Chain A
């Protein structure tokens, strides 16, 4: 008899958290932007983000504007030598959203791992 460790609670938790997440945030690019801005607490210059993400200006600006509209990131202008450069930083709201995404991914990881374990047990029987 294979023991099923995964509880219905776990699945329910995943579904509840999914409802709380904004589908507008959970895209590869937007998660990546939130993750990078969380690591670089001082903010990231627009040109550095563009290099890191290897993205066209149009696509990057559209994603940044959307995150800014949602209040997850803020933009400020800073003087770098003789030029004025846009710097983006994570807001408190953005950090909270990122934490929710991480929690959500952790539950998915747990479910996937337990699923694999269950499969292994069946295969080795």
Chain B
């Protein structure tokens, strides 16, 4: 199954309907790009490569595909059947509240995930500084919330050790 069919299946699941042929629907294409990036970053098998610069993360290969298959994308027409594992990934993206309400927050979140994948040991301070360099138009608040959202998306259940669980419980029970 082609990459674009997988992306269409993801958009359909997330109820995103971009209007590819409408040049003014920048928002729809923006969220298509970022959704494909997030899905790939969280484990969905897509072969598009993304650049963090300018409008990044952005894939020119994906843009070629959605322009070439504009009718199909607009109709959300795909025969690709998402696996349970892929649905789990999309549910995680769906549950990350606010990222589909704000383009700047989505941009900050996606860019943070890109940076974290390139340099996993990067500290929050370094992430913030790098985001500031790459995306000076984002507000500090977008950058901070974006880093938090990215961490939530990249979080894996195995990170939650008994020690961390106890500490979290203690914080939850603070009077």
Contact = CB atoms under 8 A, between A and B. Distances in A.
Contact of B24 (A45, A47, A78, A81): A78
Contact of A48 (B27, B54, B102): B54
A45 B24 CA distance: 13
Interface stretch (A10-18, A35-43, A60-68, A92-100): A35-43
Contacts of B54: 36, 40, 44, 48-49, 51-52
Given A51-B137, A80-B103, A81-B102, A40 B23 contact: no
B63 A42 contact: yes
Interface residues of B, number: 22
Given A39-B60, A81-B103, A48 B26 contact: no
B78 to A, nearest CB: 21
B102 to A, nearest CB: 5
Contact of B60 (A41, A51, A80, A89): A41
B155 interface: no
By CB atoms of chain A within 10 A, which of B24, B54, B103, B136 has the most? B54
B135 A51 contact: yes
A87 B26 CA distance: 9
A44 B55 contact: yes
Interface string B1-41: 00000000000000000000001101101100100000000
Contacts of A41: 60, 63-64, 67
A22 interface: no
B53 interface: yes
A90 to B, nearest CB: 12
Interface in B61-101: 63-64, 67
A79 B27 contact: yes
A27 interface: no
Interface of B: 23-24, 26-27, 29-30, 33, 53-55, 58, 60, 63-64, 67, 102-104, 134-137
27 contacts: A39-B60, A40-B54, A40-B55, A40-B60, A40-B63, A41-B63, A41-B67, A42-B26, A42-B55, A42-B63, A44-B55, A45-B55, A47-B137, A48-B54, A48-B55, A48-B137, A49-B54, A51-B134, A76-B24, A76-B26, A78-B26, A80-B26, A80-B27, A80-B103, A80-B104, A81-B102, A81-B104
Given A41-B67, A76-B24, A76-B26, 12 more contacts: A40-B63, A41-B60, A41-B63, A42-B26, A44-B55, A48-B55, A51-B136, A52-B54, A78-B24, A78-B26, A80-B103, A81-B104
